[in-house]
């Protein structure tokens, strides 16, 4: 079977995957609608295989990388889900206290992509914590389909409390300098925006294609670095009102709209990934945190 490339499939396939990944359509309907694009030698099975995440071949920093101390810990989040599991990572050679980053997953729990992202950030000289909001339901189940179903069973505001508790845990960690920021993707982008509203001492927030708050914007103290995908109409429709409110409240923010890329462009495990935009957005993120947390 021919190995598919992004040029082999239409934007409609990626739009369908976005609907599926965000619970707008069920798997049966997703597969059925894919059949409309199974032309010119393409099959539904090949399209399905191509758009689904490939975690095995996408990891950039292995869990046992000697440059890192990376391990799973548990912290208390009594307001949310009780005891929460998280990946805690830091450089193995650091001798001084570091800034901290809470890394927030998408709408499917702490999958390998987010674990990898947390390790990558730690290599830049930070101590990172990547919680699994699915912990009260048994944790990330090993695949995204079941992960999405589990996450739908949790109240999003309780999950927000879990991530705020991670901020407090990290700020009090003996290896942290007390300055903690947050970066999140999709659902994690919403969490990042909401933590800026809810956490007065947050040192910086970087939402990647995250839904925006509609209240409490005047309470934001943290500087914001907002990352958007130009093809992401679903999320982008809330940006004009959010930007207007940020301007009126004279908040510290910078926003970037990456041209011709999809929601999820930073996630290197699916064909929505755009290497140029992802690299640029990540470099901006790390530069932002190095200024705000060190």
Q: What stretch(es) of the chain map to CATH 3.40.50.1820?
A: 68-293
Exposure class string for 245-265: b at 16+ Cβ within 10 A, else e = bbeeeebebeeeebeebbbbb
pLDDT higher than threshold 60 for residue 138: yes
CB atoms within 10 A of CB 279: 11
pLDDT higher than threshold 50 for residue 1: no
Band the pLDDT of 2: cuts 50, 70, 90: very low
pLDDT in the model for residue 9: 77
Contact 226, 256 (CB under 8 A): yes
Q: What is the pLDDT of residues 260-287, one digit of tens each?
A: 999 999 999 999 999 999 999 999 999 9
Please report which residue ranges of 96-212 form alpha helices under DSSP H.
Answer: 112-122, 144-151, 156-171, 187-198
- Separation between Cα atoms, residue 151 and residue 161, nearest integer Å: 15
Band the pLDDT of 48: cuts 50, 70, 90: confident
CA dihedral 293, 110, 210, 99 (to 10 degrees): 0
Q: Is 178 helix (H, G, I), strand (E, B) or coil?
A: strand
Q: What is the pLDDT of residues 151-168, one digit of tens each?
A: 999 999 999 999 999 999
pLDDT higher than threshold 50 for residue 70: yes
Mean pLDDT of the chain: 94
Query: Strand (E) positions, the chain?
Result: 68-77, 82-91, 98-104, 127-131, 176-185, 204-208, 224-229, 253-258
Band the pLDDT of 78: cuts 50, 70, 90: confident
pLDDT higher than threshold 90 for residue 239: yes
pLDDT higher than threshold 50 for residue 75: yes
Q: Residue 21 CA to chain centroid, in angstroms?
A: 14
- Arch. (CATH architecture) of 68-293: 3-Layer(aba) Sandwich (3.40)
CB atoms within 10 A of CB 168: 15
Q: What is the pLDDT of residues 79-126, one digit of tens each?
A: 655 799 999 999 999 889 999 999 999 999 999 999 999 999 999 999
End-to-end CA distance of the chain: give it in Å, rounded.
50
pLDDT higher than threshold 70 for residue 171: yes
CA dihedral 76, 78, 80, 81 (to 10 degrees): 60
- Separation between Cα atoms, residue 289 and residue 99, nearest integer Å: 8
How would you write 49-72 as a 3-class SS string? HHHCCCCCCCCCCCCCCCCEEEEE
């Amino acid at each position: 079977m021919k190995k598919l490339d992004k040029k082999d499939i239409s934007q409609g396939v990626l739009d369908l995957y976005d609907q599926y990944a965000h619970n707008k359509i069920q798997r049966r309907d997703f597969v059925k609608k894919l059949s409309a694009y199974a032309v010119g030698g393409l099959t539904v099975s090949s399209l399905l295989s191509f758009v689904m995440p490939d975690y095995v071949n996408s990891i950039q920093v292995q869990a046992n990388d000697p440059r890192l101390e990376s391990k799973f810990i548990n912290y208390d989040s009594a307001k949310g889900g009780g005891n929460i599991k998280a990946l805690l990572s830091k450089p193995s050679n650091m001798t001084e206290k570091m800034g901290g980053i809470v890394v927030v997953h998408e709408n499917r729990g702490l999958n390998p992509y987010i674990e990898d992202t947390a390790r990558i950030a730690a290599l830049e000289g930070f101590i990172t914590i990547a919680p699994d909001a699915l912990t009260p339901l048994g944790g990330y189940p090993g695949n995204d389909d079941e992960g999405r179903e589990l996450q739908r069973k949790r109240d999003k505001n309780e999950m927000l409390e879990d991530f705020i508790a991670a901020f407090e845990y990290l700020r009090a960690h003996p290896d942290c300098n007390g300055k903690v920021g947050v970066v999140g993707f999709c659902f994690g982008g919403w969490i990042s925006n909401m933590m800026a509203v809810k956490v007065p001492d947050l040192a910086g927030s970087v939402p990647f294609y995250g839904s925006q708050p509609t209240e409490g914007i005047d309470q934001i103290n943290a500087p914001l670095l907002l990352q958007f995908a130009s093809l992401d109409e679903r999320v982008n429709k809330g940006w004009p009102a959010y930007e207007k409110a940020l301007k009126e409240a004279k908040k510290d923010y910078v926003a970037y709209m990456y041209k011709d890329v999809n929601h999820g462009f930073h996630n290197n495990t699916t064909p929505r990934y755009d290497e140029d935009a992802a690299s640029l957005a990540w470099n901006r993120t790390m530069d932002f945190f190095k200024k705000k947390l060190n």
